[in-house]
Amino acid sequence: MSLSSRSVTESKNCCASSSTNTLQPVKDEEYLVLGESSDGFFYYNRSNSPQHMALQELLMKQHEPHAKCCQLTASGMQAISATLHGIIISRKNENLNLIYSDELYCDSPRLFQWIAKMFKNVTLHSINVLEKNNIIQLFEGKFAKQTNILFFESCSNPNGNIFDFSILSKLEAASKALITIVDNTWLTHEIFNPFTVKQVDYVVSSLTKYYSAGHCIGGMVLARSKNAMKGCTEWMIVNGNHVSPYHCELVKEHAETIAQRIACSSVVTKRVINEFLVKHPKVLQVNHPLCQTHPSHALMKTYFKRSKDNLVPSVFTFKVKGTKSDVLQVLKKATILDHKTSFGAKMSRTDPWPQEESGFTFVRLSVGYEDNYERIVKGLEEILSHL
């Protein structure tokens, strides 16, 4: 089969077609390499597989009714990269503004810098998502009547800032074209589905955290239309993207129980913040939209409707006195709470990359879905007693 004909076949399958030729898993020694269809034809599992399609179907169902196509990726970062490459290549003859939040997962702006070096028609701009009036002014002035790609996290890493989605209609009206990409890793669809806002075109997420429960690395791109996903899918296929059928099985197994895990970690997070951290004399600030003093508290109540059901982000930061170096020494020596990067795992952990500001340090805490209030508080007391 030629590359072009194979690309067409794989591109159609990426949207998890439910035709009579649907791939069926075959548990033999080659099931990770070959997938058998109902007519007995064996497909090469590089860009697609029965397990791949089953996971795509589940992820689209979880984002109903707006998600029309899903592309699996090897990681969350690849999901962002594939989305941007698909958009930029399809608009190679246009000048593009890539406008992004000034608080993101650290590798995202690194990717943007690299993309701007590779594509001379892309210009980068950083915005503060909390300054909605300034954003509107920029779009009605500097970015007016231009093609604008807007990228932000639904709840920012690490301090939980929320973009005011209500201004997207104004940004769209001011633009020649507005393409909005939302990274929903911090929340998952259980807390907030960005597609409920009609101006959102793509939702990207790491599957490593909540969807796989920390069991394997993966990512996804969801699009509001199949046509919008075309460039992303083609870029993935020609670049030989592969997501292991085994990893698809792992993610699907744990994604089916994500509701229970988010519920468990949310309830404990609320208790840890409200009953312990905000009352502790050594904790000078808690950055979580749950807190009334947080700049995005009102937006959380507006958009995260299920916060009334106790569903809230289970990752946040808190401020303590001390340099980053001193605080890290305490975190590394802690005997109760793990000191590891990433989040979404069973047990709670502090992150190895705290941020320092004028002699104070912001510690990131991720609450585990099988952890309990008493153990977490005991671990925090151990840490705070040495600061």
pLDDT of res. 381:
99
Please give the model's pTM, rounded to 2 decimal places. 0.90
pLDDT of res. 45:
65
Which amino acid type is present at position 266? Answer: S
Contacts of residue 18, defined as CB under 8 A and 6 or more positions apart, other chains included, come to: 57
Rounded Cα distance between 82 and 115, Å, is: 11
**pLDDT tens per residue across span 153-207:** 999 999 999 999 999 999 999 999 999 999 999 999 999 999 999 999 999 999 9
Domain covering 3-255, topology: Aspartate Aminotransferase; domain 2 (3.40.640)
For the chain, give every domain's residue range.
3-255, 258-384
**CB-CB contact of 286 with 277 (8 Å):** yes
**CB-CB contact of 184 with 194 (8 Å):** yes
Domain 258-384 has CATH 3.90.1150.10: yes
Which amino acid type is present at position 154? Answer: S
Share of the chain above pLDDT 70, in %: 90
pLDDT of res. 174:
99
Mean pLDDT, the chain, rounded, equals 91
What residues does 204 pair with on adjacent strands?
Answer: 183, 221
**pLDDT tens per residue across span 216-251:** 999 999 999 999 999 999 999 999 999 999 999 999
Residue of 239, 237, 233, 231 lying closest to 220 (CA atoms):
233
**Any idea which of 15-29, 200-214, 274-288, 354-368 has the lowest mean pLDDT?**
15-29
**Any idea which of 23-37, 280-294, 301-315 has the lowest mean pLDDT?**
23-37
Rounded Cα distance between 310 and 109, Å, is: 32
